[in-house]
């Protein structure tokens, strides 16, 4: 692991399944000198935010910002999340994953999941250097980032690159905030599905990336949050994933709020901050022994 300025490059020796394209450039959008969005990721990496030494409890969380698999929304689903996790004594690692594109990937549907798997492999393999417990590494995702987090939770054992099979890629828990879960026609977020799978995905791809269809008894526990009036990602995405976990006795907790819409991130005055999902999540982490 090479750590420079708290940045870990995921693929220093070359990205598997990559297509060289010198006309494809990564782009970042700033507002008032603050990073808001990242587009066309070409250099996937982890940005590490170590927990304060006096608070550290050894837990770590990989954070997956949302953006419909078209961009990464760092301003409300990245940096504020790391700050909140640090306040709980948790080391946060924000994942800048590749966004699916036929221009730079032989199979764009697997690119983001490769990055999520690789991120977990690096974090768990280097737990000692990161001062974390290898048995307390979770993943947190918003919207399409929630789909990526859930995809890792159900497909962590699939071989998508030449990986170290001595290192488990299974998250110890997942936190899914208004996640895209399914690729089914009636409930998916069409933009996320089209960006990930193309305009006319075949049935096998839709089934593979419908996370609720791939849950097993080894899928990690989950904490889910959704607003009933979400007009972008139907609340049934979270409900169906929760019920699937419940039916095979995997610990899960689901919070559905009447208001909030979509994309509220860590909460704003006009959305669901009034519901304090962060407080509920903190209690869930304590109840399940991930933090003290």
Residue 276 has pLDDT above 80, yes or no: no
- Burial class for 142, CB neighbours closer than 10 Å (0-12, 13-18, 19+): buried
Residue 5 has pLDDT above 90, yes or no: no
Farthest CA pair distance, the chain: 52
Residue 245 has a pLDDT of 98
When pLDDT is averaged across residues 68-79 and rounded to a whole number, the result is 96
Task: Give, for 64, the enclosing helix (H) or strand (E).
Answer: strand 60-64
Name the DSSP letter for residue 66: -
- The lowest-confidence range among 173-182, 203-212, 234-243, 268-277 is 268-277
Confidence of residue 273 (pLDDT cuts 50, 70, 90): very low
Q: What is the pLDDT of residues 101-120, one digit of tens each?
A: 999 999 999 999 999 999 99
Return mean pLDDT, the chain. Answer: 95
Is residue 67 within 8 A of residue 35, CB to CB? The reply is: no
Hey, what are 141's tokens?
A: 């995702």
27-31 β-sheet, strand order: 27-31, 34-39, 72-73
Is residue 17 within 8 A of residue 114, CB to CB? The reply is: yes
Residue 101 phi, psi dihedral angles, 5° rounding: -155, 130
Residue 266 has a pLDDT of 85
Residue 243: partners with Cβ closer than 8 Å, 6 or more residues away:
none
- Burial class for 58, CB neighbours closer than 10 Å (0-12, 13-18, 19+): buried
Residue 240 phi, psi dihedral angles, 5° rounding: -70, -35
> Where in 74-192 does DSSP place strands (E)?
91-96, 137-142, 173-177
Residue 3 has a pLDDT of 75
Q: Please state at what angle helix 111-125 crosses helix 144-155, rounded to 10 degrees.
A: 60
When pLDDT is averaged across residues 193-205 and rounded to a whole number, the result is 96
Domains and CATH numbers, the chain: 3-287 (3.40.50.1820)
d(CA 168, CA 125): 9
Residue 237 has a pLDDT of 98
Q: 268 or 43: which carries more pLDDT confidence?
A: 43
Residue 272 has pLDDT above 60, yes or no: no
Task: Give me the helices (H) in 48-109, please.
Answer: 74-77, 79-87
């Amino acid at each position: 692991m090479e750590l420079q300025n708290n940045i870990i490059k995921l693929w220093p020796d070359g990205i598997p399944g990559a297509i060289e394209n010198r006309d494809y450039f990564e782009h970042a959008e700033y507002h008032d000198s603050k990073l808001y969005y990242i587009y066309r990721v070409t250099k996937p990496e982890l940005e590490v935010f170590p927990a304060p030494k006096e608070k550290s409890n050894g837990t770590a969380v990989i954070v997956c910002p949302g953006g419909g698999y078209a961009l990464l929304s760092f301003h409300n689903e990245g940096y504020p999340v790391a700050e909140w996790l640090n306040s709980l004594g948790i080391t946060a690692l924000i994942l800048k994953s590749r966004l699916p594109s036929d221009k730079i990937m032989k199979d764009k549907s697997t690119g983001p999941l490769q990055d999520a798997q690789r991120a977990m492999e690096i974090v768990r393999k280097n737990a000692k250097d990161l001062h974390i417990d290898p048995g307390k590494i979770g993943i947190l995702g918003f919207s399409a980032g929630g789909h990526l987090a859930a995809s890792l939770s159900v497909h962590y054992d699939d071989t998508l690159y030449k990986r170290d099979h001595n290192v488990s890629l299974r998250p110890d828990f997942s936190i899914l905030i208004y996640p895209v879960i399914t690729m089914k026609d009636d409930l998916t977020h069409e933009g996320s599905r089209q960006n990930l799978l193309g305009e006319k995905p075949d049935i096998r791809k839709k089934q593979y990336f419908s996370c609720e269809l791939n849950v097993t008894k080894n899928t990690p526990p989950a904490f889910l949050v959704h607003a009933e009036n979400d007009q972008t990602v139907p609340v049934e995405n979270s409900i169906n994933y929760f019920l699937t976990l419940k039916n095979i006795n995997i610990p899960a907790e689901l919070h559905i709020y009447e208001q909030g819409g979509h994309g509220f991130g860590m909460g704003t005055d006009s959305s669901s901050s009034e519901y304090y999902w962060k407080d509920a999540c903190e209690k869930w982490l304590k109840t399940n022994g991930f933090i003290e």
